[in-house]
Structure 1
């Protein structure tokens, strides 16, 4: 889902930082509206991403913004505010700076070979990075617990 010319930040650190996990969004720290020219994209494996979408949708308010999936069903991409990639450090995920290149919030998917799981019309705001970080952490713990029960 990443196009050439985009910069990415990927974390391989096995420990999720505790600085934002579990902290709810506040009015001064909530995700701003996302325009087609000012969004980054957090990409995660599909299983973790779907768990995170469920977690976010069960939360209060509009916690999840537009979400992309690839046609191979390997990854989900969460639209987040521009600048998120600079400090993104969640293990197992990648955050791509789009600088407005290749990511638009039109009904048509912005990247060839992808489609909207949650289209912009149903979710007009970018997902708050702190809320997404917490949901991805919770999703990883749920998946690990489920896998260990086998």
Structure 2
């Protein structure tokens, strides 16, 4: 099931208009990364013309979530975490954003998912870049 379809079917989060509770692991998994690594990786992926699946920015958690195909069992190294069956995401509708919450950096418009191998490479490059800038 595409993320757009999952959003249509997902229940609303009580007391918070416009936010849905998405079950992860049904047609897609999510890779959670800190903002400091997630945004540079997103910029790199965009610059290379890589096909991107939905990318969600969670401002309160200061994280990005990349939608990938399910079943990528290879370990993801900290600070990256794979979310799959049994995990849940709180997400706004596709065209909704709130200053306090964040929103979609890449919209869930079709069934496209980010390739896990390409994402892994972009995240490693972004982490290496962050480390090199942190050194005096």
TM-score with structure 2 setting the length: 0.67
Higher helix share: 2
Higher RCO structure, 1 or 2 (CA under 8 Å, sep 6+)? 1
Q: Distance in 1 between matches of 2:102 and 2:30?
A: 13
Q: Which moved more, 1:132-141 or 1:90-99?
A: 90-99
8 Å Cα contact 2:2-2:111 kept in structure 1? no
Q: 2:39 aligns with which of 35, 50, 61?
A: 50
Which structure has greater strand proportion? 2
RMSD, aligned CA: 2.8
SS in 2 for 1:87: coil
Extract unaligned runs of 5+ from structure 2.
4-25
Q: Superposition pairs for residues 94-109 of structure 1, below 5 Å?
A: 94-98=81-85, 107=94
Contact 1:67 1:118 in 2 (8 A): yes
SS state at 1:54 partner: helix
2:65 to 77, 85, 91: 77
Which TM-score applies when normalising by structure 1?
Answer: 0.62
Partner of 2:8: none
Runs of 4+ in structure 1 displaced over 6 angstroms? Answer: none
